[in-house]
Amino acid sequence: MSDSYSLEKLPQKAVIYCRVSSTKQTVRGDGLGSQETRCREYAKYKAMDVIEVFQDDSSGSLISRPGMLAMLSFLKAQGKEPHAVIIDDISRLARGLMAHIELRVLIGEAGGVLVSPSIEFGEDADSQLVENLLASVSQHQRQKNGEQTINRMRARTQNGYWVFQAPVGYRYERVSGHGKLLIRNEPNASALQEALEGFASGRFETQAEVKRFLEAQPAFPKDLPNGEIRNQRITDLLTRVIYAGYIEVPNWNISLREGKHEGLIGLETFEKIQERLKKKAKAPARKDINHDFPLRGFILCDDCGKPLTACWSKGKLKKYPYYLCPTKGCASYRKSVRKEELEGAFEELLKDLQPAENLFQLVRTMFKDAWSMRLMQSRRSVAELEATIMQIEKQIEALLDRIVEASSPAVVAAYEKRLASLERQKAVAVERIQRIGRPRLTFEESFEHAMSFLSSPWNIWNKSEIMGKKMVLRLAFLEPLAYSRNKGLRTPNYAFPFKALGKIHSRNCEMAHRGRFELPTPRFVV
């Protein structure tokens, strides 16, 4: 211990200041407790009475340290009575030269005398030189540790490992041969996978619908106290390639590469999402769409062709639900249609979309044939994809040669941008080859899902929440339905499966007669 101060010069009262760099150190270790113990031993050795102990569990500027601010306020409140400020080591005060000098001055102005069992503080030139040198060494160690940490993180990222905070849907777990690896974190992983695949396929037409779907998941983390998720966060989720099982860190010049973790979606699905995001944005779905009016926006006014809106109209005793046309100048402007009348007609329409039981075996055979043909086509396309990959690799090699020969930074940047695009195309092609012949669902599973919908869209409509009802509208109809106040719902334009089943099931079908289909012609009379 340093014995440079005599007992007469040192203040009889003291405070202790302890600091660790992060909250994690207070949980996993006893850094603050060890520092306090050493400082109390020093105070006892110097016959000083410890009045208060101040602690901080973070680095950063003076403003972000509540313990330091509280200690300065305490020292100022003592008036002119000096207090010793005991620190375990010079690095516990600050790990930067400028910050150390600033805190040193503030402590002196507040009436504190800085002491430590590890270093001799003084006001003479030699003591200040040693103090500043030690502060510089501490700053160098901090910067060097930071550089080494970043270099190790960058090297691990280059090997395909994510080194930052685990994104939503993942968590870190130690895996043999990998160290800390991202793995699926259920149920958020499945919810996010459904949201991403739904947006790629068009099930969710807008980001607002993805937002509402995720907000409806109880376990999914929300941003706001009212249970909502910020719009920017939805955009971030849709544009993070990590969910496709790949890693890319442009700030570290790390291009797209396959990650060691399991993706929630494929890279091809991710590219479809990016293509949809680049297209002209659709008007966001209304926030007040709810179970009260599931057909709002889907039913059109037969007079003007614009979507009907809906509202609750206040009567003498209670409120009544209505659909109505909001278009000024329309013959049906503000003409109300009772909710039960319009939705009743629509539900009757859905009930008619139910094929006969004897058609299911025929449909199964058709599905099986189509499934087999699709698998055969997929296998034949492997050769085409391999040829595409070879062509991409040749283009990549040519670009690399051009980058080496180029001297203009603008030209090099353009080549690198094109190179990144080719690497992305190659990764998508490789992923497609790996998936060919290995469908995610078996034929029986796919057939069961398809037939559960084709057998009775009405059952799904009747049992589903608002998002399920919207899905029924998109799958069963090719376009919105028109409604006339006098004639009711107009002729619907069904999706292809219902058109095909409707023709097979039509009561007007007749067996063709033998012979040709041309009308008979009279004999020529000679």
Cα–Cα distance measured from residue 223 to residue 352, given in angstroms and rounded to the nearest whole number? 44
Q: Is the pLDDT of residue 290 over 80?
A: no
In the predicted model, is pLDDT for residue 505 greater than 70?
no
Residues 334 and 476 in one domain: yes
Judgement on whether residues 59 and 195 belong to the same structural domain of the protein:
no
Which of 184-193, 371-380, 388-397, 453-462 is least confident? 371-380
What pLDDT score does 79 carry?
A: 81
Q: Is residue 462 part of a domain?
A: yes
Residues 488 and 350 in one domain: yes
Residue 353: pLDDT over 60 = yes
Give the three-class secondary structure for 397: helix
Instruction: Fill in the DSSP letter of residue 177.
Output: T
Cβ contact 249:167 at 8 Å: no
Q: What pLDDT does residue 16 have? A: 92
Considering just the CA atoms, what is the radius of gyration of the chain in Å? 36
- List the CATH number of the domain containing 123: 3.40.50.1390
pLDDT at 504: 46
Is 203 among the domain residues? yes
Is position 482 within any domain? yes
Is the same domain home to 54 and 133? yes
Residue 417 has pLDDT above 60, yes or no: yes
Whether the pTM exceeds 0.75: the reply is no
Residues 6 or more apart whose Cβ sits within 8 Å of residue 18: 31, 32, 35, 36, 39, 53, 54, 55, 56, 67, 87, 88, 92
Query: Do 340 and 469 sit in the same domain of this protein?
Result: yes
Q: Is residue 122 part of a domain?
A: yes
Mean predicted confidence (pLDDT) in 243-248: 91
Does 242 score more than 90 pLDDT? yes
Calpha distance 307→394 (Å, rounded): 52
Q: Is the per-residue pLDDT at 451 higher than 70?
A: no
119-177 residue pLDDT tens: 878 777 777 787 778 888 877 877 888 888 888 899 999 999 999 999 999 999 999 88
Tell me the one-letter amino acid at 386.
E
pLDDT-wise least confident of 108-112, 283-287, 408-412: 283-287
Question: Which pLDDT belongs to residue 443?
Answer: 60
pLDDT digits (tens, 9 = 90+) for 39-80: 999 999 888 999 999 988 876 666 678 888 899 899 988 888
Domain range for residue 229? 170-278
Confidence at residue 273, expressed as pLDDT on a 0 to 100 scale: 92
Q: What is the mean pLDDT of residues 256-276?
A: 89
Structural domain includes residue 179: yes
Residue 5 belongs to a domain:
no
pLDDT mean over 103-123: 85
State how far the Cα of 257 lies from the Cα of 247, in Å rounded to an integer. Answer: 5
Quick check: 73 and 36 in contact, CB under 8 A? no
Domain membership of residue 31 (yes or no) is yes
Looking at the structure, tell me whether residues 328 and 463 fall in a common domain: yes
Let me know whether 31 and 141 are in one domain. Answer: yes
71 touches 16 (CB < 8 A) = no
Lowest mean per-residue pLDDT among 306-320, 325-339, 340-354, 505-519: 505-519
User: Is residue 116's pLDDT more than 50?
Assistant: yes
The reply to whether 52 and 91 lie within a common domain is yes
Residue 428: pLDDT band (50, 70, 90) is confident
Sole residue written with tokens 């007992």? 7
Number of independent structural domains in the chain: 4
Q: Is the pLDDT of residue 192 over 90?
A: yes
Q: What is the DSSP string of 40-61?
A: HHHHHHTT-EEEEEEEE---S-
Average pLDDT rounded to a whole number, residues 106-113: 87
The pLDDT of residue 507: 43
Q: Are residues 436 and 332 in the same domain?
A: no
CA–CA distance, 148 with 141 (Å, rounded to integer): 10
Mean pLDDT of the chain: 80
pLDDT of residue 517: 46
Distances (CA, A) of 498 to 203, 350, 370, 455, 508: 19, 11, 17, 10, 17
Prior bond of 187 cis (ω within 30°): yes
Of 431, 449, 467, the last residue of a domain is: 449
470 lies in the same domain as 493: yes
Q: Mention every residue, 6+ apart, whose C-beta is less than 8 A from residue 75.
A: 15, 83, 85, 107, 110, 111, 112
pLDDT grade for 403, boundaries at 50, 70 and 90: confident
Structure confidence at residue 501 (pLDDT): 62
Higher local confidence (pLDDT), 357 or 267:
267
Cα(56)–Cα(349) distance, rounded to whole angstroms?
Answer: 69
Pair 222, 229: CB distance under 8 Å: yes
Report which of 115, 122, 135 is spatially closest to residue 13, judged by C-alpha positions. 115
Is residue 289 included in any domain, yes or no?
no
| Residues 240 and 316 reside in one and the same domain | no
Which of 345, 344, 326 minimizes the C-alpha distance to 335?
A: 326
Same-domain pairing of 318 and 466: yes
pLDDT (0 to 100) of residue 241: 92
Confidence of residue 375 (pLDDT cuts 50, 70, 90): low
Confirm if 18 and 136 have CB atoms less than 8 A apart.
Answer: no
- With a pLDDT cut of 90, the percent of the chain lying above it is 15
Q: Tell me, what's the pLDDT at 127?
A: 74
Per-residue pLDDT for 29 more than 70? no
Q: Is 123 helix (H, G, I), strand (E, B) or coil?
A: coil
Predicted confidence (pLDDT) per residue in 460-498, tens digit: 787 877 777 887 887 788 888 899 888 888 888 887 667
CA-based diameter of the chain, in Å? 149
Domain boundary among 401, 426, 449: 449
Work out whether the CA dihedral 273, 277, 279, 283 comes out positive or negative: positive
Range from 8-17, 55-64, 415-424 carrying the lowest mean pLDDT: 55-64
∠ CA 94-96-102, rounded to 5°:
70
Contact indicator for 458, 351 with CB cutoff of 8 Å: yes
Give the integer Cα–Cα distance in Å for 196 and 236.
Answer: 12
* CATH assignment at residue 267: 3.90.1750.20
